[in-house]
Amino acid sequence: MPWSGSFARCGLLMTSWTVVLLLSTEMKFQRQSATEPNLEDVESTYTTSTIVNTSNTILPPAFTKAPRGVAVCIAGNLRTFTVPVVFSQIRPFHEQLWGWTVSFFLYGTLEGAGPKNQTHRNLAAIHETNQTALKMALTSLRPQAVELVANAEDVTEENLAQYVLHQECFRNIQFIESVDGVEAFFENRVRFLRGLNQLAHVISSLEMMMRFEQTRGRRFKVVILTRPDLRYDVNRNDHDWFRDVAWVPEWISNGSVALQMDHWVAMPRALAERFYLLGKVLSCSPSDKCCRKIDRSESLWEYLTGAVHGNFGQCSCSNITTPFRRAKVAQIQRTKSTK
């Protein structure tokens, strides 16, 4: 496999190791269905932001070919990605669900962030250093592009102004549900920075997808944003698993969002454009309804997509409303052991 070499991204990341893997664009192992639902009408119904300085974004070239296929953008810490029940099911799950060409883009961090100190949800940091295991997992996933970076901290207290224009909108935050009963989750600076880093990684994976679209002169129809440590129990025999999610492709083709919190979010390509433009630099200002209302990651996602991602309550912080439906697609694999 043609993977090796290192390259520095934008000078923004202090990465000690970045690997880029580009596989050939039209791969033979992918199935293509003749009956893709038509997304053309859907794509024109979203307007993208005018506040964001678009010269800092990837400008869409004139795409001559009709949109096609599903892009799965996987971003986050590679904690349990290398466990076989995790990596081996990612491609089969998405291919079976859609029956379309599915392309994967992986932006993975190797060093786990510290504990979240969140009641019942504290995951110990797992560092992924085993290159043999990583190669095996990547060979199975066959992504179109992969970037692996050592450090998960793009956003720090020092460079925060590059990512958040109006910091006052992220202080004294109104909250829906508190983890520890006293304040909004994002009121804690460490958690806020962690949430911003999660977003920065998702944005990086979207940029990988957009570069690929430019290269092939064609946009995707559907974009899925997800994380690398989910276990898709495709082979579960206690239950007709596909029946539970069979509605998802048509639902997305109708312009809506299917989601499992902020773990797995499927959306039309045009909505991913909004996500990207609003998420690359948070421009939420005191005159916007989002100000002091983005209290945690699920609310940030709600702001960006207009769909409610949290299981308990909504922030009502987005200026669009997108129909959404919850999907039960996978579980977080928390340990390296598969028990």
Decide if residue 168 touches ligand NAG (CB under 6 A): no
Decide if residue 125 touches ligand NAG (CB under 6 A): no
Residues 27-86 binding ligand NAG (CB under 6 A) are 49-51, 53, 55-56
Decide if residue 201 touches ligand NAG (CB under 6 A): no
CA 139: distance to chain centroid? 21
Decide if residue 335 touches ligand NAG (CB under 6 A): no
Decide if residue 217 touches ligand NAG (CB under 6 A): no
The residue among 25 and 117 lying less far from ligand NAG, judged by its C-beta, is 117
Distance in angstroms (rounded) separating the CA atoms of residues 18 and 4 = 9
Decide if residue 275 touches ligand NAG (CB under 6 A): no
Decide if residue 98 touches ligand NAG (CB under 6 A): no
Shortest Å, Cβ 117 to ligand NAG: 4
Decide if residue 183 touches ligand NAG (CB under 6 A): no
Shortest Å, Cβ 2 to ligand NAG: 21
The residue among 198 and 283 lying less far from ligand NAG, judged by its C-beta, is 283
What's the 3-state SS for the chain?
CCEEEECCCCCCCCCCCCEEEECCCCCCCCCCCCCCCCCHHHHCCCCCCCCCCHHHCCCCCCCCCCCCCEEEEEEEECCCCCCHHHHHHHHHHHHHHHCCCEEEEEEEECCCCCCCCCCCCCCCCCCCCCHHHHHHHHHHHCCCEEEEECCCCCCCCCCHHHCECCHHHHCCCCCCCCCCCCCCHHHCHHHHHHHHHHHHHHHHHHHHHHHHHHHHCCCCCEEEEECCCEECCCCCCCCCHHHHHCCHHHHHHCCCEEEECCCEEEEEHHHHHHHHHHHHCECCCCCCCCCCCCCCHHHHHHHHHCCCCCCCCCCCCCCCCCCEEECCCCEECCCCCCC
The residue among 25 and 139 lying less far from ligand NAG, judged by its C-beta, is 139
The residue among 145 and 284 lying less far from ligand NAG, judged by its C-beta, is 284
Decide if residue 254 touches ligand NAG (CB under 6 A): yes
The residue among 145 and 266 lying less far from ligand NAG, judged by its C-beta, is 266
User: Strands 102-109 and 70-77, how do they pair?
Assistant: parallel
Residues composing the chain: 339
Residues 131-150 binding ligand NAG (CB under 6 A) are 132-133, 136
String marking each residue 105-124 x if it binds ligand NAG according to CB under 6 A: ---------xxxx-------
The residue among 25 and 118 lying less far from ligand NAG, judged by its C-beta, is 118
The residue among 115 and 217 lying less far from ligand NAG, judged by its C-beta, is 115
Shortest Å, Cβ 181 to ligand NAG: 15
Binding residues with ligand NAG: total (CB under 6 A):
26
- Is the distance from CB of 185 to CB of 178 less than 8 angstroms? yes
- For ligand NAG, the binding residue among 186, 192, 251, 275 (CB under 6 A) is 251
Residues near ligand NAG (CB under 6 A) are 49-51, 53, 55-56, 114-117, 130, 132-133, 136, 188, 190-191, 247, 250-251, 254, 278, 283-284, 288, 319
